[in-house]
Each structure stands twice: as structure tokens, then as C-alpha cells.
Amino acid sequence: MKRPSNALLGIGICAVVLLMFSFAYANVPLFKLFCQRFGIGGSAQAGSKEETWEQSSATGPMSDRTVQVKFMGIAASGLPVRFGPSEPTVEAQIGKPVHLEYTFTNMSDDSVFFRAVHSIAPVEAAREFQLMQCFCFDDQALGPRQSITLPVYFALSPRTPPNVNELMLSYQLFPRDPHRALPVPAKEAN
């Protein structure tokens, strides 16, 4: 009966423990990747993916199916920004890029800094949603009472599941300055 020494076995097990500890951290980038790949949590495919579309459009004609896209906007408590799209809803043709303007207005007399986080529901549509240009890719700043208009380009891939008839593109604005005062009672965005 040949058994490894206690110390050797113990060290081997410690390696397992360290491995699992780092596995937790490895999940931070992995989870992000996974979410983007599978659209979990409504993260869209960021950036242009024309090449994959050409492949799929080569196998079949681009459909004239449309999906209604709705928009939702939430500003974090205490962020005095009103924002909304140029149109309340869009009938997006599958495979055809959609252009949209979002207008942001600073309602306060101070400068504001914020970042928009986007999300798409339902999940199975999110993975086929291609966000090509978006203000949510960068931090944004608004001077006192300033109003700006920023473009959004997106398109739905031909693989959008047939049971998806409508989807929601939501933006939530979060203040970027970490030293902001704590939230005051909510103000409605939009």
C-alpha cells in the first residue's frame, strides 16, 4: 500500500484550494465574456459584426420581418439628467441598421458626469442585438443646463428567434463622480 506523505498530499490539496479561489476571480472576465456571447443579462454584442451577417445572409435572403424595439431610460437617484430617444418605438427590420438620436438635458446648475449602462430584454433577443454605436461606450459630461444629442446605431441579426416580437433597449445612467453626495429622493428620468 503506497500512499503519498501527509505533507505532500496536504500541499496538493492546498493547490486545489488556491485554484478554486482564483477560479472565483477568473469568473469576472469569463462571466462578462459569457454574457456577451450569450446575451445573458441583456448585454448586447458590442461593435460591428458585419462579417457574421454576410455569412448568414449568404445562406438565405434577408427577411423583411420586423421587430418592435422599445426604449426605457432610468437615471440614478440624484442624477439630474433627463434623457430619451427621438422616437418612442422603432419597427426595426431584421438585418437593417437603425439610427436613433438620444437627447440628454442637465436639469441642474452644476456639471454632471455619468455613464450609461445598456441592457436588452428578452435575453434570447439580446444575443442577436448588435449595438454598433452608442453613447454608452464612453463616459459623458454635461455642463450646467446643457443639452446634447448623441446617436445610437443598432441592428438585429437574422438569427433573432422567431418567437421574439418585441424587445426593450434600456439605459440606466449612473453618476461617474465617486465623491457625489448620497442619493436624494428619486427624480423621474424621461
Partner 1 sequence: MSGGSHAPSMTDAHAKPRTGISKWLFTTDHKLIGVMYVWLGFFFFAVGGLFALLLRTQLASPGLHVLKPEVYNQLMSLHGTFMIFFFTIPILAGLGNYIVPIQIGARDMAFPRVNAISFWLLIPAGLMMISSMFLQGGAAAGGWTSYPPLSDRQYSPGPGVDLWILGLHLAGLSSILGAINFVVTVTNLRAPGMTLWKIPMFCWAVFITQCIILFATPVLAGALTMLLTDRMFGTAFFLPSAGGDPVLWQHLFWFYSHPAVYIMVLPGMGMISQVLPVFASKRLFGYKGLVISTAGIGVIGFLVWGHHMFSTGIDPSLRFFFSLASMVIAVPTGVKIWSWIATIWGGSIRLRTPMLYAVGFIALFVIGGATGVWLALVPFDVQVHDTYFVVAHLHYVLFGGSLMAIFAGLYYWFPKISGRLYNEKLGQLHFWFTFIGMNLTFMPMHFMGILGMPRRIYTYQAQYASWNHVATLGSYVLGVGMLLFFVNMLWSLWKGPRATADPWEHIEATKTLEWTVTSPPPAENFATLPIIR
Partner 2 sequence: MTFATLRLRHGLMAAAVAVALVAAGPAWAWYLDPVTPVAHEVRTLFFKALALTGGFFILAEVLVLVAVLRFRARPGVPPATFHENVRLEILWTAIPAITLVILAGPTFTTLKYMETVPKSDLTVEVIGHQWFWEYRYPEHGVVFANEPLVVPQGKIIAADVSSIDVVHSWFVADFGVKMDANPGRVNHTWFEVERTGTFRGQCAELCGVLHGDMHIEVRVVTPEEFDRWIEQKKRGA
Cis omega (within 30 of 0) on the bond before 122? yes
Quick one: 82 or 115, whose CB is closer to partner 1? 115
Q: Which of 80, 122, 133, 176 forms a contact with partner 2 (CB under 8 A)?
A: 122
CA distance 77 to 80: 8
Give the interface segment with partner 2, choosing from 21-29, 50-58, 70-78, 147-155 (CB under 8 A).
70-78
CB-based burial label for 44 (10 Å; 0-12, 13-18, 19+): buried
* Grid cell for residue 51: 462579417
Answer yes or no whether residue 181 interacts with partner 1 by CB under 8 A: no
* Grid cell for residue 54: 454576410
Residue 121 forms beta bridges with which residues? 168
User: From partner 1, partner 2, none, which one binds at residue 6 (CB under 5 to 8 Å depending on kind)?
Assistant: partner 1
Which residues of the chain form contacts with partner 1 (CB under 8 A)? 3-7, 9-10, 13-14, 16-25, 27-28, 31-32, 35, 38-42, 76, 115, 117, 121, 123-124, 172, 174-175, 178, 182-183
